[in-house]
Amino acid sequence: MSKLYRARYALQLQVRCAALLPYGLTMSATARSPVLPYLFACVLGVFAIAGFWYGLGQPVILPDAATPTHKLQCASYTPFDKDQSPFDQPFVPRVERMDADLALLATRFECLRTYSQTGLEQLPELARKHGLKLMMGAWVSSNAQATAEEVKALIASANANPDVVTSVIVGNEALLRKEVTAPQLVKLINQVKSQIKQPVTYADVWEFWLQHPEIAPAVDYLTIHLLPYWEDDPAGIDQAVKHVAQIRQVFGNKFAPKDILIGETGWPSEGRQRETALPSRVNEAKFIRGFVNQAEQNGWKYNLIEAFDQPWKRGSEGAVGGYWGLFDADRQDKGILAGPVSNLPHWPVWLGLGVALFLSTLVVGGRARSTRSALLLPALGAIAGCSVVAWAELASVTSRYAGEWLWAGILLGLNLIVLTHGALALGQKDGWRERLFNVLERRAGWWLAAAGFAGAVMMLGLVFEPRYRSFPSATLLLPALVYLLRPVRGPRRELGLLAFIIGAGIPIQLYREGLDNQQAWGWALVCVLMVAALWRSLRIR
């Protein structure tokens, strides 16, 4: 399970809690709040929250891929710290960070693969220090001058460090990006081959080798990228290793006797689901450990992507782009290669926040008005302790820049307002509770409209530009349930338009995502609840 996928499990738990909410937000008051049903519901609510967060974070035991006595072949390495990117002008490498990185990676790998010469001038010396070999790359782009400088630096480094640089890679996915032509690439490869002694190759997604077989005679071996998550027809985790093996077999047969290096393969630990391909730490560990076992049984040469999470990649690839690392951006072990692995290692923190929100709901609601209210108030708190906190956790993963953090904060604030409104509706209203309830009640239609507007905006994004967008199911669940069961008066034309946009988007996004995408189904279910809430409020005159 990934952090983004948790909406499905939140829905399962919260729908059970919501079963306690049949039309309960409008029940009449009684003289006293029944104690025993209230205590029972409170205990049940705490157990529900604890079960939800523990279920997400419980460790999974898998066979190890790396041990202190068994190192893996190679991993992709870039010199960027978590606050750096290749777009920094100027980029200033941190030698101390690189030194510490290589010291860590040397405990697990025999070699590293690089993609550019920029900022890596001291890498061969550091690799020698830590007993690592290098597959060094030159970045080939449409900028002829920059490419020439990269190639020149690659040749110089390879000749100066023959004991460390075992092979060189002239270009990475340049054909995929359509920045050079195949003849231009062959010319560069031959230029490098004529000036160094190490083997020379080019790296690209496997389909582009099949589209441009004329490059194969120029290289000493083929470097292919096999990323089942990013395939046009994504492979789920149960089929991912088998898919890699099938493609590797095709290339081994087609391009024999040239050797094949699987230059990139891996699985993301966070991000949106693509059809059946679900990112998560457990799935990343399953793929990496399963792949390494098969590669070593078959004698394949391979390079894993990548050593460390790269937050800067989220800008171009969405949340999933920043989480392909075997270690996180703080250089902490994610448990991918060995030992128990958890999808949510810090689950006790989120559990604590969930319980705190649950208790806050009880405090705000005060004394329940009836037996039914005594059951419903803790149920409301339990739903909030899962869904609202899940949204906060999701936002911490997916938010990339100030605008997205602001959007996440606004939606979190809206959820807290709706939670307060719902809690006050269930409790005895006196003193400050009555005054606050009256303020919220007068604007209740606008809270619903705001939730509907957020749902419409996110639905349009998932319909028209879904590739890098997450499924924000957790952020709309609480408003949808509260205002479905307690309709409020609001701006009719606006509510009708929002209901239409969200409703019309449901079948379209399911069609685009595929019926096997459970995250898409979770979002569709929440949207159905939101449309129903908007529709019920439209009927109030």
Tell whether the model's pLDDT for residue 2 goes beyond 90: no
The mean per-residue pLDDT over the stretch 215-228 comes to 97
What integer pLDDT is reported at residue 167 of this predicted model? 98
What integer pLDDT is reported at residue 54 of this predicted model? 96
Q: Which of 322, 337, 355 is a domain's end point?
A: 322
What integer pLDDT is reported at residue 370 of this predicted model? 87
The mean per-residue pLDDT over the stretch 271-287 comes to 96
Tell whether the model's pLDDT for residue 9 goes beyond 60: no
The mean per-residue pLDDT over the stretch 435-461 comes to 96
Whether 381 and 358 have beta carbons less than 8 Å apart is answered as yes
Same domain? 162 vs 30: no
Same domain? 37 vs 126: no
Residue 519 lies in a domain: yes
Same domain? 97 vs 50: no
Question: CA 185, CA 171: separation in Å to the nearest integer?
Answer: 8
Question: CA 386, CA 7: separation in Å to the nearest integer?
Answer: 9
Q: Which two tokens stand for residue 130?
A: 């830590």
Residue 385 lies in a domain: yes
What integer pLDDT is reported at residue 375 of this predicted model? 93
Q: Which of 423, 382, 478 is nearest to 43 (CA)?
A: 382
Residue 461 lies in a domain: yes
- DSSP state letter for 236: P
What integer pLDDT is reported at residue 18 of this predicted model? 44
Residue 93 lies in a domain: yes
Q: Which of 266, 289, 322 is a domain's end point?
A: 322
Same domain? 14 vs 139: no
Q: Which domain holds residue 264?
A: 72-322
The mean per-residue pLDDT over the stretch 194-208 comes to 97
What integer pLDDT is reported at residue 66 of this predicted model? 85
Whether 363 and 425 have beta carbons less than 8 Å apart is answered as no
What integer pLDDT is reported at residue 81 of this predicted model? 92
Tell whether the model's pLDDT for residue 20 goes beyond 60: no
The mean per-residue pLDDT over the stretch 138-150 comes to 96
Strand partners, 67: 70
Same domain? 463 vs 526: yes
Tell whether the model's pLDDT for residue 27 goes beyond 70: no
Q: Which of 288, 322, 356 is a domain's end point?
A: 322
Question: CA 488, CA 169: separation in Å to the nearest integer?
Answer: 63
Same domain? 101 vs 150: yes
Tell whether the model's pLDDT for residue 30 goes beyond 70: no
What integer pLDDT is reported at residue 500 of this predicted model? 97
Phi, psi of 481 (to 5 degrees): -70, -45
What is the total count of domains within the chain? 2
Q: What is the pLDDT of residues 330-356, one digit of tens each?
A: 999 999 999 999 999 999 999 999 999
Tell whether the model's pLDDT for residue 165 goes beyond 70: yes
3-class SS string, 180-214: CCHHHHHHHHHHHHCCCCCCEEEEEEHHHHHHCHH
Question: CA 246, CA 357: separation in Å to the nearest integer?
Answer: 49
The mean per-residue pLDDT over the stretch 8-15 comes to 44
Residues 6+ apart with CB under 8 A from 447: 414, 417, 418, 421, 440, 479, 483, 488
Q: How many beta carbons lie within 10 A of that of residue 123, not counting itself?
A: 26
Residue 332 lies in a domain: no
Higher pLDDT, 31 or 253: 253
What integer pLDDT is reported at residue 215 of this predicted model? 97
Confidence of residue 227 (pLDDT cuts 50, 70, 90): very high
Residues in the chain: 541
The mean per-residue pLDDT over the stretch 472-491 comes to 95
> What is each CA distance from 512 to 105, 228, 463, 516, in whole angstroms?
40, 19, 8, 11
What integer pLDDT is reported at residue 74 of this predicted model? 98
Same domain? 140 vs 20: no
Q: How many beta carbons lie within 10 A of that of residue 467, not counting itself?
A: 11
Q: What is the pLDDT of residues 420-429, one digit of tens each?
A: 999 999 988 8
Residue 65 lies in a domain: no
Mean pLDDT taken over the chain: 92
Same domain? 173 vs 198: yes
What integer pLDDT is reported at residue 69 of this predicted model? 83
Same domain? 191 vs 85: yes
Question: CA 42, CA 512: separation in Å to the nearest integer?
Answer: 41
Q: Which of 307, 252, 340 is nearest to 109 (CA)?
A: 307
Tell whether the model's pLDDT for residue 35 goes beyond 90: no
What integer pLDDT is reported at residue 24 of this predicted model? 41
What integer pLDDT is reported at residue 67 of this predicted model? 81
The mean per-residue pLDDT over the stretch 446-455 comes to 96
What integer pLDDT is reported at residue 467 of this predicted model? 87
Q: What is the pLDDT of residues 498-533, one digit of tens each?
A: 999 999 999 999 999 999 999 999 999 999 999 999
Question: CA 474, CA 371: separation in Å to the nearest integer?
Answer: 28
Confidence of residue 91 (pLDDT cuts 50, 70, 90): confident
Q: Which two tokens stand for residue 463?
A: 């319909």
Helix (H), strand (E) at residue 457: helix 444-464
CATH value at residue 196: 3.20.20.80
Question: CA 22, CA 19: separation in Å to the nearest integer?
Answer: 6
Same domain? 160 vs 279: yes
What integer pLDDT is reported at residue 292 of this predicted model? 97
The mean per-residue pLDDT over the stretch 314-342 comes to 95
Q: Which residue has the tokens 């995929």?
A: 176
Question: CA 8, CA 14: separation in Å to the nearest integer?
Answer: 10
Q: What is the pLDDT of residues 359-399, one digit of tens each?
A: 999 999 998 888 899 999 999 999 999 999 999 999 999 99
Same domain? 401 vs 314: no
DSSP string, 320-380: GGG---SB-TTS-B-SSSSS-B-S-TTHHHHHHHHHHHHHHHHHHH-SBSSHHHHHHHHHH
Residue 414 lies in a domain: yes
Residue 67 lies in a domain: no
Tell whether the model's pLDDT for residue 83 goes beyond 80: yes
The mean per-residue pLDDT over the stretch 123-128 comes to 97
Question: CA 471, CA 26: separation in Å to the nearest integer?
Answer: 31
What integer pLDDT is reported at residue 316 of this predicted model? 87
Q: What is the pLDDT of residues 105-121, one digit of tens each?
A: 999 999 999 999 999 99
Q: Which two tokens stand for residue 404?
A: 């997205």
Same domain? 436 vs 310: no
The mean per-residue pLDDT over the stretch 13-32 comes to 41
Question: CA 78, CA 318: separation in Å to the nearest integer?
Answer: 19
